[in-house]
Structure 1
Amino acid sequence: MSTEAEGYDAPRALLTLYDEALPSVYGYFVRRCADRATAEDLTSDTFLAAMDAARKASPPPITVPWLIGVARHKLADHYRRRHDRFTDPVADVPESDGEDRWDAEVDRIVAESVLARLPEHHRTVLALRYMDDRSVPECAELIGRTVHATEALLVRARRAFKQHYPEGGAR
């Protein structure tokens, strides 16, 4: 669908796509946010930003992959505003039924910290593939690349992640 085409109504296209796109956009956030309220707020922010873009003189093509791109930017903005997220010391060590649960939580925190330092395209493809459990072809479609290019990007992103992950931290 060309945005240049006569009669293209981007706001209407967004409203038409809303029911189909909402689970994807919300699902994107719910896997990456500490709580549902934040995921809901960021989902709302994404659709508001999308409507603003749709109302422009030359609106982008309104698709689910484009909305996921808007969502990625909203999530990045959210984490930029919380720049101190990984610098706060842990106040109390939570009680644990076993050391394994604590180790898993520490590994998760370290992995999030490493992801935050990677370039956006590496974070995106790793999150889609491993956090969202998307297939490589699904990742390719969502980020607008070929399957082969996405596989190559995943190789580079995993390599970058491993380079930044602390020694002895990976299990």
Structure 2
Amino acid sequence: MSPHPRARPDPAVALLDLYDHALPHVYGYLLARVGDTALAEDLTAETFLAAVAAARRPGADTPSVPWLIGVARHKLADHWRRVARERLRVVEDPGVEDPWEVRLDAILARQTLAALGPHHRAALTLRYLDGLPVPEVAAHLGRTVHATEALLVRARAAFRRAYPEGGQP
């Protein structure tokens, strides 16, 4: 045995060689499906991080663009599952018996939330989706508690005005 054992090459190094070529394909795949550049960038980063972990597993496939698109597809599915859970958490109503009604209401609520201004959307998301107390929402937004309470009042009013009557856009 030699005094210096040879280091086993990291299988994820193949990703470095592929990165520049694959990045536009992975990002384009995700952007076409989510329509939001920031979200597509986040999901692309998650994809490459997951690809590194997957490439290091014993018996992993050799990284390629189609393989990375498959990883991106899984990351996108994970994202949509998270979104679906958030939607249901926002509009869950134990009095509604039909689960499709709950899902349709959740989708409509999410669309309404997305149509609000960023300050209203941020306040409502932190308070009601993330479940943070008002002082923590204030800290995240860099506002006083009193200013955050006022912002939440205005944001809820904006949401009510924007939310379609009878569930029809």
Shorter chain as denominator, the TM-score bin is: 0.3 to 0.5
Which has more radius of gyration? 2
Higher relative contact order (CA closer than 8 Å, sequence separation 6+): 1
Give TM-score, length-normalised by structure 1: 0.46
Give TM-score, length-normalised by structure 2: 0.46
More helix by share: 2
